[in-house]
Amino acid sequence: MQKLDLKNGDLVIQVVEGKSPNSDTFSIRCSSLVAAARSPIIRSLLLRKSVQKEKEKTIVFSDLIFPKVFAPLFVLFLYTDRLDWSLAPKSDDSISSLSLAKAITTNGKSPDLQLARALKIIEIARFFEVEKLVQACEDVVIRNLSPDNVVQILQWGRTNNSKYISTHAFRFIEREFSRIATSSSSSPNFLELSSQEMEELTKSQFCQCTELEMLNACCRWGEFALLRKLEEREPNLVADTCHSISRRGLKKSEKSGEELKEILKPLAENIRKDYALPPFHQDLTDAYNKGILEQSPMGQDLVVCASTSEINPDAHWLKPEQSSAGPRYYRSYHTTLIKHRTLKDPSWTPPTTSSESEDVFVAPEIHLEFQNIYPDILEDSLFIEARNRIEKRAKLANLANFGRVFHRKMALEMITRQTLIEMNIAEECISCRFSSENLENSGIPTPPPDVVLPGSCDIF
């Protein structure tokens, strides 16, 4: 059927160069019924032409919105739901002018051809409103993420409102943070992260790095941001000389100046300095001396001997404060703790929560409050079902056993997000929190906005 339609189909799709109808055209045939069934845009255009009782219908597009090199692949997908890359451009010559290709180019390397093609097809599929093609190309993008391109992909996903791509790209950066921030090939791309993205990473509970690695990465990023800021203020007469800031770099005084501290202030607030190992590392001391970090107040638990002022640096690990965010989930630390616990007691096994168990319930003092923020959009029946699912999972998680309120709130947010994603409900539609009599005015910071349930987005 498909091959027959390519020869004798009643719909002719023409692609013209630029905006001129007299320029060279590319044509491809297909069935108007198939095209209309798969694309609301094509269906709308065909309805306008329905008054013209012609056996052959023609639709003309500019190659600025529908490049002819992707037309065969697009038409084949309408019939088969399959991406045939043999029909796509074999080189980057046809897409080198696209901003998409530039977004994937890193450190002078050639752009990743499959990524550039997939990103361009996403734009085409969105224009024609072919959602399955969008999803197929997004899967291609996710499979090809690497430390060298993930920053550009994250920024592309957020600029083009692709939540699926941006979420997975952000998880990839979390998972490979140490490698991305320190590798010679990917480190320049890491420095291109925006201040908002850096702030999200420093807030993340699942960023796979030590606090010292996070601190050093933030300092490098801050120095690069300061360098760009100073370059913008530099007179044009000095810009291309040996005295330019880009050539001489930052002075020692600038690396400890007020401007750098101002740039790093939003990030430094999220550095969990109390959980840095070793606790008296030189990098930590330098950050204190430069004023980048502020030392925590000396609590009674920290002082071992008042006469000698001896300090117990492990007090934050052993007796964390209720208002503290605690250490990040760093997999290397977690694995070491499991091994240590197993050596002490070979019969011990890590606790697991069975989703099928019905015997675990939340303590009576834990109560949840739900609100349908957009009742005109979200039906009551769907809201009630979501509420019941969240309550059931909260009971199975046994939130009452969580030692601190911060982790309790974080667990509830993760449960809520997973449930709403499964039910295809926008996160903005439902508000779920603990009852005010338990948590209001507790001074506990809001959980980081990028936290999702481990495993739901392949975090590790």
- Average pLDDT of the chain to the nearest whole number: 79
The residue type found at 415 is I
pLDDT tens for 401-459 read 776 777 788 889 889 988 998 898 888 899 998 885 444 444 444 444 333 333 333 33
pLDDT tens for 305-335 read 555 556 667 777 777 776 677 888 899 988 9
Choosing from 91, 126, 158, the residue where a domain stops is 91
Average pLDDT of the segment spanning 242-261: 67
In this structure, is residue 31 part of a structural domain? Answer: yes
In this structure, is residue 60 part of a structural domain? Answer: yes
Tell me the pLDDT band of 201, cut-offs 50, 70 and 90.
very high
For 368, list phi and psi in degrees, rounded to 5.
-110, 145
Token reading at 183: 């590798």
Per the omega criterion (within 30 degrees of 0), is the bond before 278 cis? yes
Coil, strand or helix: which one is 442?
A: coil
CB atoms within 10 A of CB 209: 23
pLDDT tens for 72-123 read 999 999 999 999 988 888 765 555 434 554 445 444 455 578 898 999 999 9
- How many domains are contained in the chain? 2
Long-range contacts of 20-29 (CB under 8 A, 24+ apart): 21/60, 25/60, 26/63, 26/68, 26/71, 28/71, 28/72, 28/75, 29/5
User: Residue 26 belongs to what H/E stretch?
Assistant: strand 25-30
Contacts of 157 (CB under 8 A, 6+ apart): 163, 164, 165, 166, 167, 169
Residue showing tokens 């740039």: 263
Question: What is this structure's pTM?
Answer: 0.77
Q: Is the CB of residue 120 less than 8 Å from the CB of residue 67?
A: yes
Choosing from 74, 91, 108, the residue where a domain stops is 91
In this structure, is residue 155 part of a structural domain? Answer: no
Average pLDDT of the segment spanning 1-20: 79
In this structure, is residue 143 part of a structural domain? Answer: no
In this structure, is residue 2 part of a structural domain? Answer: yes
pLDDT tens for 117-161 read 999 999 999 999 999 999 999 999 999 999 999 999 999 999 998
Least Cα distance to 197 among 159, 259, 157, 155 occurs for: 155
In this structure, is residue 179 part of a structural domain? Answer: no
CATH of the domain at 14: 3.30.710.10
Greater confidence (388 vs 18) lies with: 388
Residues constituting the chain: 460
User: Residue 28 belongs to what H/E stretch?
Assistant: strand 25-30
Q: Does pLDDT of 42 surpass 60?
A: yes
Q: From CA 424, how far away is CA 305, in angstroms rounded?
A: 57
CB atoms within 10 A of CB 101: 21
Least Cα distance to 429 among 417, 439, 440, 445 occurs for: 417
In this structure, is residue 450 part of a structural domain? Answer: yes
Coil, strand or helix: which one is 402?
A: coil
pLDDT tens for 44-71 read 998 887 656 666 788 999 888 899 999 9
Choosing from 36, 71, 91, the residue where a domain stops is 91
Token reading at 308: 């000698």
- Using only C-alpha atoms, what is the Rg of the chain? 28
In this structure, is residue 53 part of a structural domain? Answer: yes
- How much is the pLDDT for 118? 92
Task: Look up the domain containing 460 and give its range.
Answer: 357-460
